[in-house]
Chains A and B, each alone.
Chain A
């Protein structure tokens, strides 16, 4: 049993998957089996065919989100394989370095030169590893991703765009095509023509050709806009169309980052001029000067450490995008987690930065052990 809407949905997932053709094909077959099995079950329960198809697709969820999850997963596996290789290389390099240092004459600095020596030897290595990691996009995946809820009007519009329409255009002007979609799907569409024209030179008379007998209005809209380097978002029930680079189209995402390990490692952030008091040994970030006031201030050390971590992130990762600098990104602590609302690109950098901090923590701990 094949269904045109399943074809459309799976076609869209396939186009959005950034995987090789073999992987795409395997995922497509598996998802199709699920959709068709579900359709058979619903039909056997006397659910009308169209409703059964809609239900099966709704249960599956957003095609773009699904494709993104599969793509991220596959890339994560590739990066893990790379990291295993890199880790092996680092272990061998460390073993060679230890062997060489054991064969070198004793340092004139006395009984405890190892720590200084290890720091000096580790510095360039640490920098190289961090640079490597910075170039490598993968981070530890946050354990939870929470997207902001949609308004009721926007949900209604999104639902209308799920309904299939017939879209046959042969060199029809973009303006007319969007007018057709507006009428066929019964949604309000606002086009930022000035942004489209300034960004890509596309105007209302840009010709569009498309031949689909029955496709969700959302897919029609995506395919039409793709040809004009445009994209859309839904705000308060209105479909807003603009150039794909328009920052207003970039959706803010909320993510929860578990950072308990980093909070243990990071020094309390209470000001640079206070004296040391009871810093934990082996703290890779803490200098003695950053710990003093924590003993006199009521809030828990963890909250100071979380503030310090947020300070590090917002000062380092796209500083202009955070609310303190007039941007729209926010970061707040929640127990041993950071709740961060930012654009997807900023999240990617935050993840990289957190990964780098973890590596720096591990390296400092290793250096301390060598120094003892």
Chain B
């Protein structure tokens, strides 16, 4: 029953998305939100009401660290990965790849036999 695991998978995947965005460079909340939206082709819109509590949870778990900076004229909180966060990211990314491979193999016969709603041009 894949649906029953939806919220759990989604919660895990949001953490993973944010950690992966921060793997590129340090970012502040608004940039993280934008980067997730762009990287997902507008399919994942991470509301601010979800993003900031998530960032604070990751910070409390010491997976990311934050620094305040006012050099741009505005007080802004920048986040970056910690070593523990980078290890978690690598481990979770690996787990996701294995899971995706496994589900892909399981679903292949289902998808191969299913009628396509929008058949691709030959």
Contact = CB atoms under 8 A, between A and B. Distances in A.
A144 B52 contact: no
Q: Is the interface of B mostly helix, strand, loop or mixed?
A: helix
B60 A77 contact: yes
Contacts of A66: 48-49, 52-53
A65 interface: yes
A60 B74 CA distance: 20
B8 A258 contact: yes
A61 B48 contact: yes
B7 interface: yes
Nearest to A26: B77
A73 B57 contact: yes
Contact of A65 (B29, B49, B60): B49
B53 A69 contact: yes
Interface string A60-87: 1110011001100110010000000000
A38 B30 contact: yes
Contacts of B29: 30, 33-34
A30 B8 contact: no
Nearest to B9: A143
Contacts of A33: 28-30, 74-77
Q: Is the interface of A mostly helix, strand, loop or mixed?
A: helix
Interface string B40-81: 000000011100110011001000000010000011110000
Contacts of B30: 33-34, 37-38
Contacts of A336: 4
A223 interface: no
A88 interface: no
Given A70-B53, A335-B4, A337-B4, A59 B48 contact: yes
Interface string B1-16: 1001011100100000
Contacts of B6: 144
A334 B7 CA distance: 13
Given A31-B52, A33-B75, A59 B47 contact: yes
B48 A143 contact: no
A350 to B, nearest CB: 17
Given A38-B30, A334-B4, A336-B4, A29 B49 contact: no
A27 interface: yes
Interface of A: 26-27, 29-31, 33-34, 36-38, 59-62, 65-66, 69-70, 73-74, 77, 143-144, 256, 258, 334-337
26 contacts: A26-B77, A27-B52, A30-B77, A33-B28, A33-B76, A33-B77, A34-B52, A38-B30, A59-B47, A60-B47, A60-B48, A62-B49, A66-B48, A69-B49, A69-B53, A70-B53, A70-B56, A73-B53, A73-B56, A73-B57, A73-B60, A143-B7, A143-B11, A256-B7, A336-B4, A337-B4
Given A33-B30, A73-B56, A74-B56, 4 more contacts: A33-B76, A34-B30, A258-B7, A337-B4
Interface of B: 1, 4, 6-8, 11, 28-30, 33, 47-49, 52-53, 56-57, 60, 68, 74-77
